[in-house]
Amino acid sequence: MSNVEETIARIYTINLSKAWLTPKHKRTDRVVNMIKEFAVKHMKSSQIKIDQELNRYIWEKGKTNPPRKVRVRIVKDEDDQVIVSLYEDIVNENEATELKTEPSIVSDNVSDAAAVNDDDDTSGQKETKNK
């Protein structure tokens, strides 16, 4: 066979609203199990790992108020290990790099415009004082 690594990456939105049918103090535990069951069903593997960022997102509001739905990225390695991670991490990283380059250009234009306006305001004040 070929030496090319075979990884499968898919993006899903998982509906977790059925977790509200369980008792209040077990909801977030149920959500974690639902995500694992979803990954097993769709990726056909029993070795599931949940990323730390996704886990923090799920547990953010405590044990009784997990999110109603979550957007995830599921990656299956060639050794059948499945990693479930939060999809927003990828999008936010790309936006952050774009935002780092753009504000410096915008701030230079704004500071130039502010300098022009400051000069106009000071000249107007001098004229009123001289009168």
Helices (H), the chain: 27-43, 52-59, 88-130
Which pLDDT value is given to residue 63? 95
The reported pLDDT for the residue numbered 88 is: 75
The pLDDT assigned to 62 comes to: 95
Determine if residue 80 is left, alpha or beta; phi over 0 gives left, psi from -120 to 50 gives alpha, anything else beta.
left
Determine the pLDDT at residue 6. 80
- What does the pLDDT read at residue 1? 44
Residues 6+ apart with CB under 8 A from 90: 73
Scan for tokens 């090319």, then name that residue: 4
Q: How much is the pTM?
A: 0.65
In order along its 131 residues, the chain shows pLDDT tens digits of 445 568 899 999 999 999 999 999 999 999 999 999 999 999 999 999 999 999 999 999 999 999 999 999 999 999 999 999 999 755 566 676 666 665 555 555 555 555 555 555 555 555 555 54
Exposed / middle / buried, residue 82 (Cβ in 10 Å: 0-12, 13-18, 19+):
buried
What integer pLDDT is reported at residue 115 of this predicted model?
A: 53
